[in-house]
Each structure stands twice: as structure tokens, then as C-alpha cells.
Amino acid sequence: MERRPRTWGLEIVASPSSHRPLPGRSEPPREGNEEAGPGRSPGSCTDRRWELPRQGEARAWAHLQKNPPPGEGGGEGVEGRGVAAPGAGPVRGSGTCGPVAKFPALRAPPGSADHPHTSAMRPLLLLAPLGWLLLAEAKGDAKPEDNLLVLTVATKETEGFRRFKRSAQFFNYKIQALGLGEDWNVEKGTSAGGGQKVRLLKKALEKHADKEDLVILFTDSYDVLFASGPRELLKKFRQARSQVVFSAEELIYPDRRLEAKYPVVSDGKRFLGSGGFIGYAPNLSKLVAEWEGQDSDSDQLFYTKIFLDPEKREQINITLDHRCRIFQNLDGALDEVVLKFEMGHVRARNLAYDTLPVLIHGNGPTKLQLNYLGNYIPRFWTFETGCTVCDEGLRSLKGIGEQHHKAQVEEFLAEHGSEYQSVKLVGPEVRMANADARNMGADLCRQDRSCTYYFSVDADVALTEPNSLRLLIQQNKNVIAPLMTRHGRLWSNFWGALSADGYYARSEDYVDIVQGRRIGVWNVPYISNIYLIKGSALRGELQSPDLFHHSKLDPDMAFCANVRQQDVFMFLTNRHTLGHLLSLDSYRTAHLHNDLWEVFSNPEDWKEKYIHQNYTKALAGKLVETPCPDVYWFPIFTEAACDELVEEMEHFGQWSLGDNKDSRIQGGYENVPTIDIHMNQIGFEREWHKFLLEYIAPMTEKLYPGYYTRAQFDLAFVVRYKPDEQPSLMPHHDASTFTINIALNRVGVDYEGGGCRFLRYNCSIRAPRKGWTLMHPGRLTHYHEGLPTTRGTRYIAVSFVDP
């Protein structure tokens, strides 16, 4: 005899001001699980919800008489559909909090106050059923979800399976995994397969075949996650009024020739999907009873043929979840699904049907989109809480201190310390291709059983956090990268999504992650430049020795494609700022100190390396001295800037002769010659002008109010003073509106003597500080001379600004 759809009870929804939970029963936690009708948001209503155990009509009527719900006496339903009383069909209505259930078929039973023959018995009949209700509550009825079992197939514990389990545990689902430890008997990447799942399910159902009240959910796991709890799942299943409900898809698979046999659907998705279905245990036993196929056969084709057989479909009582109320398959539906954030909850909403599915399935080519949704669902990241799982499963670093690799480092330094300035594992002289070099590095770790982690850092990464490695190891992921961006730009080392052809696509959350408005640990499809890989992963899922080749992709894209192909998740963390990316597209390698030329491409790094740490204080007027009238003295260059500029000039080596004839300048004649090298001789003129604009011009405007400079110059040069070469400079005016004179080495250490004397004021600066500049007017007022250098070599950088 065919089973009638079960009804667990009458759901009452009432406003807190008009209704209270029954005494002795706590209010059930809200899962944010009600679906929205037009113009309202699920979970936004403040109503309290609970379920009353199934009652007789008289008892339910008495309870409604005693505690009338808002509106006309109905409870909030799902998608506007109320839960009717026994004998009443599904109805629609609206109340003070959206859709409510109405009860047109719920008549006053004999003996009630509204029955024509029993009005005199009103007090007794109203109070007696209420006492029965309280007694029933006190006994504590079993929860409906206690009769729910979730079955899935997982032959090994992949990261996808662990994600599935974590989402199930979040909602307290009971999970039983079938096939753990078995070989998957279908070649990876083949279109057919899945018969192994049917075989395992059939075996598992043998002990449940006679449990009429047991509801079983069977679902894939590697590419599935739960978005809501058992209560909502069971509620929607029973509202479907069928014994078995399959997920539905937009696309037919695997046999398109069967399309004409499918029943026509006026609203919703038409085709069966085998990745998820739910039903009563006896009905599911009937469903798989005829299976005698091979593990490599198609499970979807098997279930499809049963569904398309009208007799079997009616006998087993199968329907499809056409409007994605329970199951959301992403293949063919990516444009329909969005994230919905509200009140500390996050759900996937289907815009086409205005539903909130319970399970999300990244079937077919939509695994990356599921990874994106899985960064948030279920409630892993919300605007109110931030990342709620970032501290789960952390690896303890207790006992790992600064001495961890001390012995190895000391051994290496003892052998190579005298010869290395920076570490090179593979130099250009080897002429090894990029991908081959990366494969070699990964394989060194793979072959060494003591290698716990492989840390790859490209040349364009500037690590600034000393604890970078510890912070990455602590996250305990197989593959993880720290967020790295270029200063002031959205350029980063990860992609949030991929285009159809496998290249960059911007995800909805990309900008928020890059700019730090969303902080967490994110499952992403592409990382580059810097990443940490577990040695166990290189010896396990990523054991291929050719990780960095894949079709015609570059090594970074090939690596990520191969990692994705092995179902290994790549994570990106922006919980800490570990450094940033350099822009090396136009990096020059023809100079001794190539970083000096990076003021355009990497301005923040250039500033950090070459501009004095106290420059900002000087700009605020706190470190500016006035040793002579209208002569200002303030810090501008770091030790590195001074040293590298001097070394660059000496490396170039073409110092002038210090006579009046000078072909480098217009007219070919120099009135007051020095032994020098011009900035344009080393190709540094453009970079020097940028330096003047960014760092000298703001000081000029502050120190000489009302004067605004564009920092134009005809002459910028480094002067060398030596006792036996040119020890001093005769009195002169500079051909400038103002002049800067930067000391590039240290008096008393590198040389003796030297300095500058302003004759008009009889004022001398005899101990210029390394990295500090003198700024003074050029023409008319500040007639000056260079004082003799008596020992060593003195270097200064000079610019005649605004000639």
C-alpha cells in the first residue's frame, strides 16, 4: 500500500507580543532557514517559531483559541506556503510577518466554544487540551531530525570531503561515509561513472529497508556543502509531498536523447540530477533494488531511466526539486545564485525562484564557484563576525624556536658564508627553464623525507614580517599563500575566480580581500609568487614530478591547474601583512645598484630604502635646523642611498677633469669647475627629478612660504673632493633659485676638513652630517665657498634647482 506523505505537526508562528513558547520548552534556535517571499528577507522577522506535536483537531483548535496567532490565525510558511491542518490542502496567506498559514478546513470540533451545541462547556474544553499539551511537552518528544541519516560516498579524505563534514557538523547532521579506503573504480576525468556509489548505497540500505520513519539523504561530498540544518531540510522534503525527491538540473546528462521523455515542467528545472536525493528508507531501497551494473556505469543514467518510467516513478513516488528548495546544482545556474548576508547569517539565494537551498552542489565544471561559496557558507565569514574558522585546526608551534635550523644554517654559512651576498639555487648560467627550476626545487623537498614544508618565494616578493614562515605554518594547510599586493594598486598574487578559458576573472569579493575589508583564509583557484606547501602533500596528492608544466600554460598557472586537478585546495590568508609585491617588469640590471632606478616602479620600496627615516619629522618642522641665515639643514637620504650613489659613481668612473672646458654643459664652459659626474651620465636624470619633486619640493614650499617649485634643473651631479685632486672650491654664486647639497659620507671617518662657508654672513658648516642636505638660495644672497678637505675623500650630491 502506498504511503501517504507524513505530516509532523502544525507549525504555529506568532509575534512575541501576542504569543509565548509553551512553559517548560525552550525556544528552538533559529537557523535563518525560512525562504523569502517577494519583498521580504528570510530570517529577518523577529517571530518565534516552534512545532507542536501532532494533535487531534480538538486539541489544536483549543490551542489556537487560547493563543491566536497574528492575522487570521496562520503561521509563517516557506515561500508563502502555509502548513495546513489535517484535511486541509496547501493554502496561501499573509500576516504581520510575511506569509502565514491559514486553516479554512479546520472547523470547530464538537464540544468547542464555537460549536452550536457546546457553548456552555467553554471553560472546561479550553483548559483540558492545554493541560494535555503541557503534559506532552513535559514528556519530551523526539526531534524529527532524529529520524534523519545522511549517507555519502568518499573513498578518501580529500579537502573537499573535510569541508563537507565541517559544514555537516556545523548543523549537527549525522553523517555516514561509505567506501572509505576503497579504490575509486573510474578513471579521473571520464564522463561516465558513479555506479560504485549505487552499489555502496544498495549495500548500506539493506539494514534500513524496513524503517518506515527513517529519512535518508544521499549526496555527493567532495563538491557539496550544507547551507542549513536538518529541521529545514525535513520540512522542505515533507512539503514536497513525495517519498523520494531528487535534485534537478538545467542541463540534461548523460544522454540528451532522453530529453523528450521528461515530463514537461512549467516552472523550474526539468532534468534529474543524481548528486543529491532524499527519501524514506523503504522507498530508496526500492529505488536501488534493481541495480546490477558495474562500478564504471553511470549512476545518473540509472536513476534517470527509473524516473522516466511512469510506472516506477509512481510506484516509488519520485519527484524532482524543480525550484531548488532543497538542492542547488551550480552547473548551468551560476547566474542564478548569489550570496545573501543578513543578521550574522549567510546563505546562497537562488534569484530565479527566490529560494534558499539547503545543499549546494558544485557539479560539473563549477568546483571553483563552490570553493568561493564555501569561503562564506555556512556562516564561515560574515560582516558581523568576520572569519569564524580561521583559528580552527591551527598547528601548534610550541617548541619550535629560533634555534630550529641553527645547526644547518651554521654549517651552510661555514662553507659558503664568505662568498654569498644573496642565495641563488639556480642561476641564469645554468640556462634552466623556469618550470624546470621550480620542479627541481619542489622535488628536493619531495625526495627528502625530513622536509616538512617547501617555501617558494619569487624575486618580486618583499617580505617584511620576520615571523612570516611561522604564521603560514600555523594555518596548517596543504598549500597556502599570504596576500601580497603592489602598493596602492589592486594587483595581487591571487585570483578570486577563473574565466571560461582558465585565465583571470575578478570575483565579487576580490577588491574587499585585497583592500582588507574582508579578513580571513580564502579558498582560491590561483596563487603565485609566494606559497608554502606541505612536504606530505608533495609526497602524496602532489607527487607528480612535473607540477609546473600543464599544456601551454606558464609555470604559475600550470602549478595551480595541476593542484586543482588533484582536488587539493589552495588557500590565501590576509590575516597578517607579511610584505608586498615589487613591480619588476621594467627592472634594470645594467647598473651596480639597480634599486636606485626603481623610484617610479616601486616608489614605496624606494622610499623605505633610500629616504631617511626622520624625513617625515623634518617635513613636519621638527628636525629642521638653520645653521646660517636662510640656510636649512634636514635629513633626506639613508646610509644606503649615500653609499650606493657614491659606489655607482665610482663604478662609472668617468670623473671630469675639473677645468673650465666642459663639453657636458651648454656652451662648453664652466666658470667654477669641480671634479664630478653628472646624473645624466649614468642615466639617472629622470629618477633624480622624481626625487626632487617628491621629497625636496614639499620641503621648499614649507621653508620658503609662497614659493612653489617644479624642481627643474640643468645641473645635478656628485662632486668628489680629495686633498691631492681638488680639495676645495672657490667662492661663487650658484646658477639656481635654490640649491641642495647632500653629504654622502661622514666627516671624521671618511675624510677630514671640508664644509661650506657663506661669506656674506661669515657662517660656516664644518661638520655636515651624512644623509643630511643643506638647502639655500642660489643667486645674489648666498655667496659661498667649499672649505678644504685635508684627508680622505669627501662626496656631495648637488642640484641647482630652478635655474
pLDDT tens, position by position, 591-645: 999 999 999 999 999 999 999 999 999 999 899 999 999 999 999 999 999 999 9
| Mean pLDDT score, 774-798 | 95
Contacts of 289 (CB under 8 A, 6+ apart): 202
| Mean pLDDT score, 398-405 | 54
How many CB atoms lie under 10 A from the CB of residue 324? 28
- In tens, the pLDDT along 167-202 reads 999 999 999 999 999 998 876 555 567 999 999 999
Contacts 24+ apart (CB under 8 A), 556-561: 556/526, 556/528, 556/529, 557/502, 557/503, 557/526, 558/435, 559/438, 560/525, 560/526, 560/527, 560/528, 561/502
What does the pLDDT read at residue 152? 98
| Mean pLDDT score, 369-390 | 95
Give the Cα separation of 564 and 569 in Å (integer): 7
What does the pLDDT read at residue 34? 44
What the block records as the C-alpha cell of 221 is 561530498
The answer to whether 785 and 717 have CB atoms below 8 angstroms apart is no
- In tens, the pLDDT along 533-552 reads 999 999 999 999 999 999 88
- In the chain, what are the domains? 9-139 (no CATH), 144-387 (3.90.550.10), 431-581 (3.90.550.40), 594-801 (2.60.120.620)
Q: Per-residue confidence at 779, pLDDT binned at 50, 70, 90? A: confident
131 pLDDT above the threshold of 90: no
What does the pLDDT read at residue 446? 95
Give the Cα separation of 531 and 720 in Å (integer): 47
Compute the CA torsion angle 649, 655, 660, 666 (nearest 10 deg): -50
What does the pLDDT read at residue 587? 87
32 pLDDT above the threshold of 90: no
What does the pLDDT read at residue 277? 98
7 pLDDT above the threshold of 80: no
When the pLDDT of each residue in the chain is averaged and rounded to a whole number, the result is 83
With H, G, I as helix, E, B as strand and everything else as coil, classify residue 151: strand
Give the Cα separation of 704 and 631 in Å (integer): 11
Alpha-helical runs (H) found in 148-229: 159-170, 195-205
- Please tell me whether the peptide bond between 378 and the residue prior to it is cis, using omega within 30 degrees of 0: yes
The bridge status of strand 244-249 relative to strand 318-321 is parallel
Give the Cα separation of 732 and 759 in Å (integer): 10
What does the pLDDT read at residue 417? 64
Q: Per-residue confidence at 285, pLDDT binned at 50, 70, 90? A: very high
What does the pLDDT read at residue 523? 98
Active site residues: 794
Contacts of 230 (CB under 8 A, 6+ apart): 144, 145, 148, 171, 172, 173
Give the Cα separation of 421 and 701 in Å (integer): 41
What does the pLDDT read at residue 199? 96
Q: Per-residue confidence at 427, pLDDT binned at 50, 70, 90? A: low
- In tens, the pLDDT along 715-770 reads 999 999 999 999 999 999 999 999 999 999 999 999 999 999 999 999 999 888 99
79 pLDDT above the threshold of 70: no
Give the Cα separation of 385 and 344 in Å (integer): 7
- In tens, the pLDDT along 225-247 reads 999 999 999 999 999 999 999 99
SS3 content of the chain, % helix, strand, coil (to 5): 25, 25, 50
Give the Cα separation of 240 and 320 in Å (integer): 9
CA 99, chain centre distance (Å): 37
Is 0.85 topped by the overall pTM?
Answer: no
381 pLDDT above the threshold of 70: yes
Compute the CA torsion angle 333, 335, 337, 341 (nearest 10 deg): 170
What does the pLDDT read at residue 418? 66
What does the pLDDT read at residue 399? 64
Strand partners, 111: none
- In tens, the pLDDT along 701-728 reads 999 999 999 999 989 999 999 999 999 9
Percent of the residues in the chain that have a pLDDT greater than 70, as a whole number:
78
What does the pLDDT read at residue 363? 95
The bridge status of strand 224-226 relative to strand 244-249 is unpaired
Q: Per-residue confidence at 126, pLDDT binned at 50, 70, 90? A: very low
Give the Cα separation of 558 and 295 in Å (integer): 32
Question: Could you tell me the sign of the dihedral formed by the alpha carbons of 324, 325, 328, 329, in that order?
Answer: negative
Q: Per-residue confidence at 135, pLDDT binned at 50, 70, 90? A: very low
The answer to whether 528 and 486 have CB atoms below 8 angstroms apart is no
What does the pLDDT read at residue 630? 94
Give the Cα separation of 421 and 414 in Å (integer): 14
Q: Per-residue confidence at 500, pLDDT binned at 50, 70, 90? A: confident
- Cα separations (Å) of 552 from 365, 437, 548, 557, 561? 20, 17, 11, 10, 11
Among the residue ranges 75-84, 481-490, 606-615, the one predicted with the least confidence is 75-84
- In tens, the pLDDT along 455-482 reads 999 989 999 999 999 999 999 999 999 9
Among the residue ranges 16-20, 447-451, 660-664, 717-721, the one predicted with the least confidence is 16-20
Alpha-helical runs (H) found in 455-528: 468-474, 510-514
What does the pLDDT read at residue 797? 97
What does the pLDDT read at residue 672? 92
